[in-house]
Amino acid sequence: MSAMKVLIIDDEVKLTRSLSFALKHVNIETVEAHDGYTGSQLLLKHSPDLVLLDVRMPGKSGLEVLEWIIQEHPDIPVIMMSAFDDTKDAVTAIKMGAVDYVSKPFDVDELIQLLVATNMRSQSEAALRYPQAGYSSETAFIGNSHIMRSLRGKINRIVEVGAKNILLTGETGVGKGVIAKQLHVKSFGNDAPFVEVNCATLPESQIEAELFGAEKGAIPGAVTRRQGLVEMSDGGTLLLNEIGEMPLGIQAHLLTFLETHSYRPVGSNYAHHSDVRVIAATNAKLEQAVADKLFREDLYFRLCQMPLEIPPLRDRDGDVETLALYFAQKVRETADARKVIFDKLAMATLKAYDWPGNIRELRNLVERLAILSQGGVITLDQLPSEIRGAKVQRPLTIVDAMDNLECDLIEDALLKSGGRKALAAERLGVSRHALKRKMQRLGLL
């Protein structure tokens, strides 16, 4: 996952530098500006994920910069900060469109939690506003292997029965997110909300508020009521990636929600209702996590009412070529790359490779080859060394099949004859010398 980028606009140079130093230690990239005009220019240049903006600065004030950001870049969340405990400024900033307001001096750890939570919420809201670009949600369905035809049938049956709780399992890169999106589209269409969150990236202290929301003042930095992901996905789908990383305490709240479809935001005395399909996804063995007391058994069984295992690419006979050609065509359409084809040996090697990274690894490879090769025929020499080492099996011919059959018959006859070749030859209806010649040719002697 790429680092979050935060633009800090504050006229206090020491503060911006010390804050940048602290944020870089938790993999948050920063850009500093010490006046409103420079901040506006750097926002255009760096396209940050989030802006930390001081209210009072010489020249162009923080509220003026906020007004410009809201008008020109409404998708970038802004958190206001001030050394003055000025309720009027806070209310004004929130009304204008700031997502939060913090007073100096602030606790750096709490600020980091606020930044991460705000960025996660911003990404989820963007997913609701804009359908994901790039590859079609049909990508994981491409291929006609028996195992994929069976998977398509299972997905159609899940859609027909309207299952509310679904557990997707499978290795990293097999397309669990794509399958979840396909389930959503087939059930609700493109207009219903689809909210995706990775449980492993949510701060443990913030995860309850992120999922179920929080009332004003219930958590640090919540100067207004905070909408949770469950509420945001009402009428659609909530995808919980890496469900095995969810803390045990929150698992109890999730179980209650799955059973009742009601929840209580942090700091609220009233229950809320959300009609949402919850899809949990994991590449971990939840059965082992249950045995190790790291995952609630009752939640596991609730999710397992409708389990769906996504097969690894190595088990999808014949689908590697179909997917590779599909990805090559998509790169040509989206990246304006030239047409590429794979020669027979290169394609045979791709088919023989184990693909530990599954569809994601294949897609990345084809994209790289298509762009760097500038079109033409992809040969074995252009494949990475770890893929070139894959053992290519020669196609089975009629002669191969006949030889295999003869080997089986001879070995069976020898077994039943106690290893005596004369008796084995008699059973097979050939002379002893003919049997010997066949065994030599087949490598059985």
Q: What is the pLDDT of residues 377-432, one digit of tens each?
A: 888 889 998 898 877 765 556 666 677 788 888 888 888 888 888 888 888 888 88
Q: pTM for this structure?
A: 0.61
Are residues 340 and 375 in contact, defined by beta-carbon separation less than 8 angstroms?
Answer: yes
Question: Any idea what DSSP says for residue 187?
Answer: H
Q: Residue 82 and residue 104: Cα distance in Å, rounded?
A: 6
Here the tokens at position 23 are 């944020």
Q: Residue 129 and residue 125: Cα distance in Å, rounded?
A: 6
Q: Where are the beta strands (DSSP E) in 313-391?
A: 340-342, 376-378
Q: Residue 8 and residue 24: Cα distance in Å, rounded?
A: 13
pLDDT in 10s for each residue of the chain, 445 residues: 456 899 999 998 988 998 898 888 888 899 999 988 888 888 888 888 899 999 888 888 889 999 889 887 887 899 988 876 666 777 788 888 888 888 888 888 888 888 887 877 776 655 444 344 344 445 556 777 778 888 888 888 898 888 999 999 999 889 898 899 989 988 988 788 999 888 887 777 788 888 998 888 887 766 778 888 999 999 999 999 999 999 888 999 999 999 999 999 999 999 999 999 999 999 999 999 999 999 999 999 999 889 999 999 999 877 898 899 888 888 877 766 677 788 888 888 999 999 999 998 998 899 888 888 777 788 888 999 889 887 776 555 666 667 778 888 888 888 888 888 888 888 888 888 888 888 888 777 6
Rounded to a whole number, what is the largest CA-CA distance in the chain?
106
Residues 403, 408, 410, 416: what is their CA dihedral angle, to the nearest 10 degrees? 180
**Helices 319-334 and 344-352, interaxial angle, to 10°?**
110
Closest to 111 in 3D by CA, of 197, 2, 22? 22
Q: Residue 333 and residue 118: Cα distance in Å, rounded?
A: 34
Contacts of residue 62, Cβ cutoff 8 Å, sequence gap at least 6: 9, 36, 53, 54, 55, 56, 80, 82, 93
Are residues 331 and 371 in contact, defined by beta-carbon separation less than 8 angstroms?
Answer: yes
Domains of the chain: 4-122 (3.40.50.2300), 141-309 (3.40.50.300), 313-388 (1.10.8.60), 398-441 (1.10.10)
Q: What is the pLDDT of residues 201-231, one digit of tens each?
A: 777 778 888 899 888 888 776 677 888 899 9
Q: Residue 262 and residue 122: Cα distance in Å, rounded?
A: 24
Are residues 102 and 84 in contact, defined by beta-carbon separation less than 8 angstroms?
Answer: no
3-state secondary structure of 55: coil
Rg of the chain (C-alpha set): 30
